[in-house]
Structures are given as C-alpha cells and as structure tokens.
Structure 1
Amino acid sequence: MSQAGGDVPAPRKILGSVEYMRICQFINGYHGLAIDCEYELRNRFFKEVEPMALTCILQSELFNRSRGQHWKNDHRGKKLLKAYEDQKELYDNDLLIQMACAEGINPIALCRTLLQEKYKLKHRSHISRMLKHPHLIEDPRLAANVQQCMISDNQEGPITDLRRRIIGEEYELKLKELAKEAGIHFYDEHDLRRMGYDKTPDIKMILPFLYKGSVINWIESKANFGDTKGHKFNIQQQLHSYCNRFGPGLIIYWFGYHEETPHLPDNNIGITVLADFPAKEDLVFMQITQGESPPAETGATKGEFKQTANPDNELTKSS
C-alpha cells in the first residue's frame, strides 16, 4: 500500500518491552468502556501497531483484571441492583452502561450480577440464556438495558464469543491453505481424532520438514498476540503435550508477539514461535529414497531432508 509520500510501513506485530509496557499502562489507566479504549488504542495512540495485536493485548489485560473482581462483584449485587432500581426511571436504555463505566466493570459482567441478584439465579447457564435472549427478561426496561450492554461490550457476551470463534476458525483455514500452497502434506485435527488422539495440533505433518534447520512435525495456529504469560500458558496446556507426542513443532501468533516470547527457556522442548506462515525459501522437505515407504504416524522418519529442485518447493519422491 502506498501514498503520495511513498510506501506506508506495515503495522508492527513484534513489540519490544517498552512499547508493550506503554500499551498496558494506557489500558490500565483508561476510565471508560473497553470498546472505547480499543478505539483509542487503534486510531489515536498506537496507529503504527497491528490493530488486532492491540485488541488482543486489551483482552488479556482486562481478563487478568476481571479475575480479581468476580468475588467483589458477587458480594455487592444487592447494592448494584438497588442503585439500578433507584435510577432506572431517570434514564432510557443506557443506565447499565453508565453504571458499568462508574464502577469499572464490563457491561456484561454487571448484567450477570444484576440478573443473578434480581431473579435469584443459581446456575450460570440460566443467566447466559437471558443474555443471549434478552426478551426472556420479565422487566422490559432491564431487558432493553441488557441488550444495550450486549452491543457495547467487546470483552464478554455471546456476540463477542461468536466473533472470536469466527476469527479463530478463519486463521485455522488460512493455515491449511498456506500449508497446501507450500506443498506440505498434513493431517488436520479431525484426521488425528479419528486416529484416536485427544490433544491435537491444528495440523501435523505426514512427513516433517525443516524450518531454518529445525525439524517441524506440527503447527499450531493462534489468532492472538503472543505475550510471554499467555505463551507459557499455551505451553503448559497444549504445546508441551504436542512435543512429547509428535516431536518439535511451530506455533504461529498471527497478530504478533512480545519480542521475548520466542526466546523463553520454556521453548527449549522444541517450540518455534512465528508471527506468520514460514517463507517457502526457508522450508526444506524430506525426500523418500527408493524402496522406502513413508513413516507411520508414530513419529519415526526415514529418508533425507533435501532442498527440493522444483520451484514450488513441493514434497517430492526420488525415482
């Protein structure tokens, strides 16, 4: 993309410690709705940073903050409900939005607290149903307020959950398409589950390849920003078991990562961190020598890694 003054640099996806800290400080010092904070981050203060990276950092910071507020919110439900009942005639449908800003709570979290208190709901599933279908709320004014919160909260709620799931699936599909274009042959999650595996990466190579000298047996797609804390959590929950079962692999944080993330000692079990699909020129594929059969899914490999001669760098079999 270019303008009259020349090429416009691509938004940065790999962030240094100072810049990352500045973004986090802005988020934690912001007073108002998260959706407004996201707009300010993207359009005013950090326009040179990948927009989705900012969205993901915001999500992570607010999630960490909210974990310490659930107990407090639950125990002040009566006070919050009384404040709503006392003032509901003075506002149209934005009273809960005003209260969420004043209390420093996500609008959907405030709705959950009020619904639980007002209707004495014990199960979270009952509250979630009311949030998903506000017309089920007997109080029409409260229903209208809840609906307003639904469209004004970019951190919680069914709309936000759907958006995140769609983005995750979009980038899994992108991974598979790019892998096919590069000439990589792989099993996806559905293939691996049919084989009886429980924890599965997004794709596992039928034959491993080399990326800059490192053997790659699997690739995990994350439509997220790879900060150090989140990456360590992913290693604990997923990547460690992939390495144990399939050998070394690669994780792609499509929206970028903290500059320290690829260099964490935790990666020494065989994890490579990238912010995009690896370039074709950095891939070296295995060629099966004559008379050998492809390896089974157990991870045993035969043949040699050789830079392929064809221009598409496809996986080829020697004759």
Structure 2
Amino acid sequence: MDTSITTAKKKILSSEEYARICQFINTYQGGLAIDCELEMVNRIFTDVEPLALICILQSELFNKSRGQHWKHEQRSKHLLKTYEDQCHQYHDNGLIIRMACVEGMTPIALCRLLLQEKYELKQRSQISRLLKQPHLIKDSCLGANVQQCVYSDNQEGPITDLRRRIVGEEYELKLKQLATEAGIHFYDEHDLRRMGYDKTPDIKIILPFLYKGCIVNWIESKANFGDPKSHMWNIQQQLQSYCNRFGPGIIIYWFGYQEETSQLPDNNIGITVLTDFPAREDLVFMELTNPAPIDDKASVQIV
C-alpha cells in the first residue's frame, strides 16, 4: 500500500514569489520557452502549481513579444535573408528554431515574419492558414521548418491555440459538474444567450446562495493564473458588467492567483476571487419548502 503523502502545490503567490518567477522568465537564456518551462517546473519553483508557472510564462512572453514586435518587424528583410543564406548550409528542419533562440523570439512569431516578408502577405489570416497547413508553402524547406516550429512552440500556433481552448472548455465543464453536484440550479452561457443577454458569465445561479456570508449570483471560470493586471482587465471587460446586471458573484482562477488580486479595491463591487469551487461547508442555500396544510403560501427557508 502506498503511504506517501502528496504535498499540495502552492496556488496563491505572494508579490515577492511572483516577482522572482517573472524575473527568472525575463532573464532566461537557455533556449525555447518549453526549456524555460521545464526548468521552472522541475528544478527552480518545485513548490508552485505547475499550471500557474505555465500561465505566468505565457503572460510574460506575450507582453515581451508585444513590446518588441515592431523592432522585429523592422528587421524582417534581414531575418529572411539570414534564413535563406543559411538554409542552403543546413539541411535539417531546425534552422528557424535556432534563429528564434538567438533573436529572443518564439518560433511561430519568427515564422510569421518570414512568411509575411517572403510572400508579401498583408492579412494575418493568410499567414495563419499557412501555419495550419504548412504543406501549402511553396518553398518545401521553409514549409518543413514551419511545421517543426508548429510542433515545438508551446506559446503560439494552431496546436497551442487548440490546447488552450480545450483546457478552457474542460474547466467550464468542471464548474458545471461541481455546481450540479452541490445542488445548485443555474443557467449556462447558451441559456442566457437564448434569453437575449450578450455578456454572460459561465453560470448564472437561478436561486442565489451565500458563500461565507456573501450573496452569489454568478460564477466565472478562468483556466489561467490571476495576476492583478489580467484580473483588472477581466473586471473591465466582463466582471463589472456581470455585477451591474446580476449582482455579486465569484471568479475562479483554477491555476491560482497573486495574493494582491483578491485584495484589489475594484473587487468591492461584488467580486470574490477563488482558486477552486467553494467548499460545501461554506455554502448556505435557500430552498422553497412545501406549503403547510393550513397555509396556501410557500415559505422561504435557509438550510
């Protein structure tokens, strides 16, 4: 019999812990993002939830890429010439990956620039089509390199986008299953859209309940890490609208959050931040009881 005890990984990070992780990511020189991810998960931050580390890595690299995109775009002609000069020397499919490491870019970001420059593509959708179907690229060597980048890049590209979408849907389904098991009756996004709502939470509670004394009218599922910046964006784009329309509710960051996130003054409009579905002992439900024989009116009772 296995008597080992699995230690729970940390999901709520202090500002200092979060800053150390970000610093490691932004100063990492060891190769691709997947190498940085493995280093963090297996060697450096072994006490932190791995999915939290992966999400922080994604966020930091996205912000870095967005800030440097214009610089790389100005060098697209030079990058294409470098690739074409070297592709005759190397007869493998890893040239673009090696160039991306040198340039401090993700392989897919470099692929986009090379395809855009080589084929004078003006629309992002044209480039995305070639990334999804590298066999359509006329230059077979470039096509093989692009295909290798699609398989190797864990930050961008069609495979990564599909994986993130599936994970998001998986945790939305998990939210609905846990809510159903807790005896909560709710409308989901599809129900609310049929009723004419545009911005909708993942579930809208039909009969509100109490969580640690706070009324809950809706729950939003986020399969990512809640740093203050992304949480503020979620408030502006979604949560404020939910509070205005439905009242107070809960947002679940399944992979964790920075401790400041739950303490932001902007949450005072009625937002509770959690890392998991509320524990059953913290919930108080109201139920309509059957009318007593001497009374023809139903009463509301807290159970």
Please give the TM-score of this superposition, normalised by the length of structure 2.
0.95
In structure 2, the CA distance between the partners of 1:69 and 1:207, relative to structure 1 (3 Å rule), is: same
In structure 2, the CA distance between the partners of 1:2 and 1:238, relative to structure 1 (3 Å rule), is: farther
CA distance in 1, matches of 2:47, 2:277: 22
Q: Deviations over 1:147-172 (max 9, x none)?
A: 11111111111000000000000000
Aligned to 1:46: 45
Stretches (4+) displaced over 4 A: 289-293
> What is the DSSP-based 3-state SS (H/G/I as helix, E as strand, rest coil) of the residue aligned with 2:273?
strand
Match of 2:18 among 14, 17, 20: 20
CA distance in 1, matches of 2:301, 2:143: 62
Q: Deviations over 1:259-302 (max 9, x none)?
A: 11111001000000000000001000112364668xxxxxxxxx
Matching of residues 168-187 of structure 1 within 5 Å: 168-187=168-187
1:59 aligned partner, one-letter code: Q
Aligned to 2:141: 141
CA distance in 2, matches of 1:108, 1:38: 17
CA distance in 1, matches of 2:124, 2:162: 18
CA distance in 1, matches of 2:207, 2:185: 7
- C-alpha contact (below 8 Å) 1:250/1:274 kept by paired residues: yes
Aligned to 2:32: 33
Q: Deviations over 1:122-181 (max 9, x none)?
A: 111110000000000000100010011111111111000000000000000000000000
Per-residue deviation, 1:305: 6.0
Please give the TM-score of this superposition, normalised by the length of structure 1.
0.90
CA distance in 1, matches of 2:54, 2:47: 14
Aligned to 1:283: 283
- C-alpha contact (below 8 Å) 1:210/1:305 kept by paired residues: no
CA distance in 1, matches of 2:219, 2:2: 33
Matching of residues 1-319 of structure 1 within 5 Å: 6-31=4-29, 32-91=31-90, 92-288=92-288, 290=291, 304=300, 306=302, 308=303
Per-residue deviation, 1:7: 2.1
- C-alpha contact (below 8 Å) 1:209/1:305 kept by paired residues: no
1:14 aligned partner, one-letter code: I
CA distance in 1, matches of 2:225, 2:2: 26
Structure 1 spans left out of the alignment, 5+ residues: 294-302, 309-319
Aligned to 1:314: none
- C-alpha contact (below 8 Å) 1:218/1:249 kept by paired residues: yes
> What is the DSSP-based 3-state SS (H/G/I as helix, E as strand, rest coil) of the residue aligned with 1:90?
coil
CA distance in 2, matches of 1:283, 1:305: 14
Per-residue deviation, 1:201: 0.2
2:64 aligned partner, one-letter code: R
Per-residue deviation, 1:115: 0.2
> What is the DSSP-based 3-state SS (H/G/I as helix, E as strand, rest coil) of the residue aligned with 1:210?
strand
CA distance in 2, matches of 1:96, 1:266: 44
Structure 2 spans left out of the alignment, 5+ residues: none
CA RMSD of aligned residues (A): 1.5
CA distance in 1, matches of 2:297, 2:189: 27
Per-residue deviation, 1:55: 0.3
CA distance in 2, matches of 1:102, 1:166: 32
- C-alpha contact (below 8 Å) 1:11/1:49 kept by paired residues: yes
CA distance in 2, matches of 1:304, 1:50: 42
Moved more, 182-191 or 69-78: 69-78
In structure 2, the CA distance between the partners of 1:269 and 1:2, relative to structure 1 (3 Å rule), is: farther
1:53 aligned partner, one-letter code: A
1:288 aligned partner, one-letter code: L
